[in-house]
Structure 1
Amino acid sequence: MLDVDKSLPKDPDELRQFTALLLAEVKSQAVLIEKLRHQLAGQRHHRFGSSSESIEQLQLALENSEIAVAKMTAKLRLPDEEPKDKPKRRPIPDHIPRMEVELTSGDDDCAQCGGLRRLGEDVTEELEYILGRFIVNRIIRPRFACSGCQAFTQATLPSRPIERGRPGPGLLAHVLVNKYADHLPLYRQSGIFERDGIDIDRSTLADWVGKSTALLEPLADAIGRHVLAGQTIFADDTPVKMLAPGTGKTATARLWAYGRDERPWGSDAPPASWYQFSPDRKGQHPKDHLSKYQGWMHADGYAGFEDLYRSSGIHEVACMAHVRRKFVDIHRAQGSAIADETIKRIAQLYAVEKEARGSPPDRRIEIRQAQAKPIFDDLEVWLHIQLPSISGKSPLAGAMRYALTRMARLRPYLNHGILELDNNTAERAMRSIAIGRKNYLFVGSQTGGRAAAIAYTLIETAKLNGIDPQVWLADTLARIPDYKINRVDDLLPWKTGHPIS
C-alpha cells in the first residue's frame, strides 16, 4: 500500500513515478469498489437466502474503501474518480427550510464611472445540519454591471470544506461524529437521512469523510506534537481488521493511541489522545511514531517497545492494572486465596493514589514514599515467598511471575510525582475504538485506517477537554480551508471549542 502521507519527492522524475504509483493505487481501490458493489448487488438480489450480516459486511467494506479513495484524491488534489454508477446529485427537497445569505462585493458604484445595475444572480445551495435538523443555506451572489462602462462585478463565493461540494461544515461534522463517536456506519446514516427526506448515497458520505479527514489532518498532527511535548505519555494499541485486496480475506492491522494527561498532578496542560494506524504490529511502527519523543512512557509489556527503551530517550513505566487483571481472572475462575490477597494489597496502592490525585509532583512523592512504598515492597516480597509453594505450571504462578517482572519496571512511579500507577489513560482512549469496531468491523485500506486515526484524534481529544466535538468540528471545518498552516494550533479544541452543556 502506497504511503501518501509521506513528503512528496522533489525530483521531477521521482515525482512522476510517485504520482503514477498513487494513481495505480487509486485505480486498484476503484476495482475493489466495483467488485464489492457487484457482490452487494448479488446479495441483495438473493437476500432471502443470505444473512443480513453478510450484506452489512459488504456495505462496510464499500464505505471504508470509498473513504480511502476520497482521502487519497484529496491529499494530492487529484481529480475525483467518476465510477459509471456514481449516484447523481439529487435536488434538495423543497420541504427543507431555506436560509438566504446575500453576498455583495461591498461597492455600490463602479470604480470607473458610476452606478451599478443588477443583471441577475447566482445561487449556491448548501445542505447544512444544525441543532438536530437540516437547513439549506441559499448563498445568493448578485451580478452587477456598470451602466457606463459595462464592467461586471460579483462577490466571490466563500471557501468551503469540500470545493464544489454541497455539504456545509455542520453536516460534515455530524457525519464524522456519527461514524467515529456514535459508531454509526455510513450506510445506516444514509438510511436515517432518508427518513428526513434527504437522499444521500453511502458512497457520497464516504467521499465527504475522506475529504474532511484529509483537510483536518494538519490539526491531528498538531495534537500529536502536543502529546509528544509532554514529560510523560501513555501508549497502547488495539487490533482492527483491514481488507487484504485480492485475497477475499482480512488482515490484522493496528490502531495505536498515545495519550497525554497531566491533570492528576495539577498541571494545566490540556489532555489529548493521538492515534496512529499501521498495517501490522511490528515494533518499527511505535519507533517511527515516537522518534521525536523523550521522556517516560506508560505501557504494557509489548516486546516491540523494548528497542525503544534500549535505543532512545524513552523510559518505561509498567502498568499495575495489567497485573491486577490477571489475578482477578484467576480469582473468578478458581477462588484462589493467594489471588484474593494480592488483589487486596493492590487495592491499598490505589487508595494511596486516590489521596495523591491532584496534588503537585513533590507532594505526590511524599505521599507515595510514606504510604505506597511500604505496601509495594511488602507485596513484592510476599509474591516471592508464595511463588515456590504452588505449581510452576499453574496460571497463578504465571500471573505471579508476570507481576514480579512488571513491578520491577513500575517502581519508578514511587520516586516521580508525574508518573501514574497504571496505563489506564491509554486504555480509556481505546474504549471508543473497541465499541465502534463491533459496528464497522474493518477498514478498507491503510489510507482508510489513517482517516479513522485522524477522526479519532480530533473527536477523542475534544471529549477529553469537555468540548462538544460536533460543534467544534463544525466551526473548525468552516475556518480551516483558508487558515494559514503555521497557525493551525490556534484551532485546537481547548482554544476554540464549545464546552459540552
Structure 2
Amino acid sequence: MTFAELEARFIALEKHLARVAHERDQVRHERDEYRKLYELASLELERLRRRIFGQKAERVDPAQTQLALDMVLQMLVGLPAQTEQTSTPPNPAPGDTAPPAGGKPKPKQRKATPHGRQQLPEHLPVERIELLPAEALGEMASQLVRIGEEVSETLEWRPASLVRVQIVRPKFAVKGEPERGVFTAPAPQAPIARCMAGPGLLAYVLLCKYGDHLPLHRQEQIFARFGLALARSTLCGWVAACAELLGYIVEAMSNDALSSPWIAIDATGVLVQAKEKCRRGYFWVLVAGDDHVLFRYTPRHTQDGPKRFLQGYKGYVIADAHSVYEQLYRTEDVTEVGCWAHCRRRFFEALSSDKARAHAALGFIGQLYAIDAELKKKQLPPAQRTTERRRLATPVLDAFRAWLDVESLVILPKSPIGQAIGYARNQWTPLTRFLEDGRLRLDNNGAELQLRREAVGRKNWLFVGSDEGAEWNAIVVSLIASCELHGIEPWAYLRDVLILLPDWRRDRLLELSPKYWKQTLEHTDARQRLASSVWSRAFEARPP
C-alpha cells in the first residue's frame, strides 16, 4: 500500500471518527433532553395526582424541615448564633406545625367540644304544644293535680314566608269646598320605581345570587315552590336596578380605599357567554387593609386593569410576581410587596425532585411565618411591631439569602428547585419589603381567599351572561365581602341600605359602606329613618 493510499485511508478514518463523535454527542443531547422531558412529565403527573387525589393544603413534615434547616445552618459559619433566638418558633407557615426547641413536634391537641345535645338559640320563636295523657281527658280528669311538666325541644322548619304589603293612602277632601282639592299622603320611596318587590325581597335575591351562589333560574324554581311565579327575566331586572343603585356606595368605597396603607390585589378568570362560544373575562379583588374588599371586572387580563384600579394610589401593593402589574409599578407611585406564599409554593412543588434543598428552604420560610405569628399574638402597636419584626426576621433573611446564593451555583437553573431559587432571588427586594412596615402581610393569601367567592360561584353559575352582568356581580360581592370583613349580617345590611339609598345625600355615601355602617346607625339619623320607613313596619309584622 502506497503512502498516498495510507494517507487517504487515514483521512477517511478521521472523518468517520468525527462523524461517530458527532452522532454520539447528538445521542447524548437527545438523551439529556428526553431525561428533562421525563422529569417534567413526572413532576406534572405528581402535581396532577395531588390535585385530583391528594390534599390541597401544602403540608410538609416539620421534623424533616427542621432537620434540613439545622444542617444548612451548621454549614453557614456564624449564622447558628445569629438565628438561635428565632429557631423553631411556633406555627412556622400555613400548613406546617413547627417542632419545639427539643426538636420533636408536639402532638396536635384536639379542640375540646362540649358533649350532650346542642342548646337551641333563644331568639327563635317558640311553638308550645301540650300533650295530655289519656287519663287527663277522661273521667279521672277532676281527680288529677298538675305537679310539673317535662319539656323537650325539637328544631323544625317552616317555609320562607312571602307577604303582600298593602300600602293604603286614604284620600280626603274638605266638605263643601271641592276647589281645595284632594289630600293624600305621598307615596313612599321604593328602591326601584314601580317595582312589586320590596327592599327585603330585593336583598334576599341579591344575597342568594351572589352570596349563596344560587343562579336566578334556581331562585325561580324556589319561588315557584312557594306558590309565586317570578320569571328569571324579572329577577334579572331587579338585580340590574339594585346593582346600579348600590354602585354609588362601592364607588365611594373605592375612593376611600386609596387612603389605605396597603392594598392586596389578585385576579381569577371567568367565562362570559357569547354567541359562538364563551369567551374569558377576569374578576379582580382589592383588599384595602382592614377597611374594604373591592371586586372589579375586566374583559381581558391586561396591565391596564390594575393601573386603572389604583390610579393615584400611593402606598404598598401586595401581589404576586405576574407581569400584569409591571405597568402599575412603572407608572404609579406604589411600592411592590412580594408574596411569600407564592415563593413557598415553588419550593413545595420541588419536593418531589430535590427533597433536601426544598425542605431547607421551607424551613427558612417557616421561621418567617412563625415570627409573624408570634408578633400578632402580642398585639403590638405598628411602630413597635415593625422594630421587632426587623430584629427577629433580618437574621433569618440573611441566612436564607446566603443559602440561595450558594445553591444557585450548583443546581440546574431549569430544574424545579432551580426555578424556585431563581424566583426567590429575583423577587428578593419585594419579598423583604415587609420589614418596612409592621402592618404589611407576608403573603397575598387574604386576596386569594376573597377570590374564592367567585371561584365557588363559578362552579354554580358556570358563566356570566355578559360583561354588564359581571359588573353587577362585582358591585354586590364587594358589599357582601366587606360586610363579612366587619362582622355585619349581609341580608339586613342590604335591606336597610336599599331603604335609605333613594333619598340619601350623595356626598355622604361612604357612611353607608360596611366600614362605617355600625357608626352610622349610632350617630346619624339613619336609625330614625329606618324606624319610620313603611318597609321596616312590613318586616316587623309577623304572619298569624
TM-score computed with the length of structure 1 as normaliser: 0.69
Q: Is this contact kept in 2: 1:261–1:425, CA < 8 A?
A: no
Which position in structure 2 is the counterpart of 1:317? 337
What is the aligned partner in structure 2 of residue 65 from structure 1?
none
Displacement of 1:338 in angstroms is 1.3
Q: Is the 8 A contact 2:346 2:420 kept in 1?
A: yes
- Amino acid in structure 1 at the alignment position of 2:425: L
Q: Distance in 2 between matches of 1:342 and 1:131?
A: 55
1:132 CA displacement: 4.6
Amino acid across the alignment from 1:250: C
Judged with a 3 Å threshold, the aligned counterparts in structure 2 of structure 1 residues 138 and 131 are, in CA distance, closer, same or farther, namely: farther
What CA deviation, in whole Å up to 9, does each residue of 1:236-280 have, x standing for no partner?
A: 111111123x4x112211111111124xxxxxxxx2111111100
Equivalent AA in structure 1 for residue 177 of structure 2: C
2:248–2:509 Cα contact (<8 Å) kept: yes
SS at match of 1:275: strand
Unaligned runs of 5+ in 2: 1-157, 523-544
Q: Which residue of 2 aligns with 1:356?
A: 375
TM-score by length of 2: 0.64
Seen in structure 2, the aligned counterparts of structure 1 residues 194 and 394 have a Cα distance that, compared at 3 Å, is same
Does 1:196 pair with 2:226? Answer: yes
**Correspondence for 1:476 among 483, 497, 503:** 497
Say yes or no: does 1:147 pair with 2:175. yes
Aligned to 1:137: 165
Deviations 1:166-204 (A, max 9, x none): 111111111111111111111111111211112111111
- Aligned equivalent of 1:394: 415
Q: Which residue of the partner structure matches residue 306 of structure 1?
A: 326
Task: State the structure with more CA Rg.
Answer: 2
- Distance in 1 (CA, whole Å) between partners of 2:496 and 2:413 is 59
8 Å contact kept, 1:223–1:457: no
**1:207 matched to 2:237:** yes
Question: Structure 1: which 4+ aligned runs deviate by more than 6 Å?
Answer: none
- Of the three residues 271, 284, 287, the one matched with 2:304 is 284
SS at structure 1 position matched to 2:476:
helix
Q: Does 1:488 align with 2:506?
A: no
The equivalent of 1:296 in structure 2 is 316
What is aligned with 1:33? Answer: none
Number of positions where the alignment pairs a residue of Structure 1 with one of Structure 2: 359
CA displacement, residues 398-435 of structure 1 (integer Å, 9 cap, x when unaligned) = 11111222222121211222322111221122111111
Q: Return closer, same or farther for 1:230/1:139 CA change in 2, 3 Å cut-off.
A: same
- Do 1:234 and 1:260's aligned partners in 2 also have CA atoms closer than 8 Å? yes
Q: Distance in 1 between matches of 2:395 and 2:406?
A: 16
Give the letter aligned to residue 254 of structure 1.
Answer: Y
Deviation by residue 1:445-465 (Cα, 9 ceiling, x = unmatched): 221111111011111011100
Aligned-partner SS, 2:172: strand
Aligned pairs for 1:407-446 within 5 A: 407-446=428-467
Q: Say whether residues 1:371 and 2:401 are aligned partners.
A: no
Matches within 5 A, 1:3-402: 132-150=160-178, 151-244=181-274, 246=275, 248-262=276-290, 271-331=291-351, 333-334=352-353, 336-357=355-376, 358-402=379-423
Overall identity of the aligned pairs, in %: 36
Q: Secondary structure at the match of 2:295?
A: strand
Question: Per-residue deviation at 1:221?
Answer: 0.6
Q: Distance in 1 between matches of 2:465 and 2:380?
A: 45
CA distance in structure 1 between the aligned counterparts of 2:408 and 2:279, rounded to whole angstroms: 39
User: In the alignment, is the contact (CA less than 8 A) between 1:320 and 1:407 conserved in 2?
Assistant: no
Gaps of 5+ in 1: 1-129, 263-270
**Take 2:164 and 2:365, find their aligned partners in 1: how far apart are those partners?**
58
Q: What one-letter code is carried by the residue in structure 2 that aligns with 1:398?
A: Q
Q: Cα 1:343–1:132, aligned 2, differ >3 Å: closer, same or farther?
A: farther
Deviates more, 1:488-497 or 1:221-230: 488-497
